[in-house]
């Protein structure tokens, strides 16, 4: 039987994931994003090993990240005959992604404050 070593996040990476979760990001999305922030490119299998997530969770996270325009996926011929391998990488630097997340949160907060202002008009 083949043995594989399982790597998990460092304490710093785990804290990064937890902060993203606290601001409202889904756990699976946060884990994939943090993993990709620290590697130049990754296969879904390497993401599985490093994050401890299952393939369906990774697929959902990658779809969300692609929809946001934060990652790109391309295929590479396998070393052996058969299927090509999917390669994932950030499409933008993580600092740009964090700026986009910050801007989105700021807009959400402003929208909520505007609604509170409208509510106050009803009670005056």
DSSP annotation string for 8-72: ---HHHHHHHHHHHHTT--HHHHHHHHHHHHSS-B-HHHHHHHH---HHHHHHHHHHHHHTT-EE
Question: What is the pTM for the complete model shown?
Answer: 0.84
Q: What is the pLDDT of residues 7-31, one digit of tens each?
A: 678 899 999 999 999 999 999 999 9
């Amino acid at each position: 039987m083949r043995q594989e070593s399982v790597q998990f996040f460092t304490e710093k990476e785990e804290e990064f994931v937890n902060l993203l979760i606290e601001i409202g990001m889904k756990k699976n999305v946060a884990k994939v994003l943090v993993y990709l922030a620290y590697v130049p490119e990754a296969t879904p299998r390497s993401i599985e090993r490093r994050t401890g997530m299952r393939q369906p969770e990774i697929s959902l996270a990658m779809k969300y990240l692609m929809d946001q325009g934060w990652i790109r996926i391309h295929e590479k011929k396998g070393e052996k005959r058969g299927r090509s391998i999917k390669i994932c990488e950030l499409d933008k630097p993580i600092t740009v992604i964090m700026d986009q997340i910050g801007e989105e949160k700021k807009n959400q907060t402003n929208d909520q404050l505007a609604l509170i202002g409208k509510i106050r008009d009803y009670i005056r």
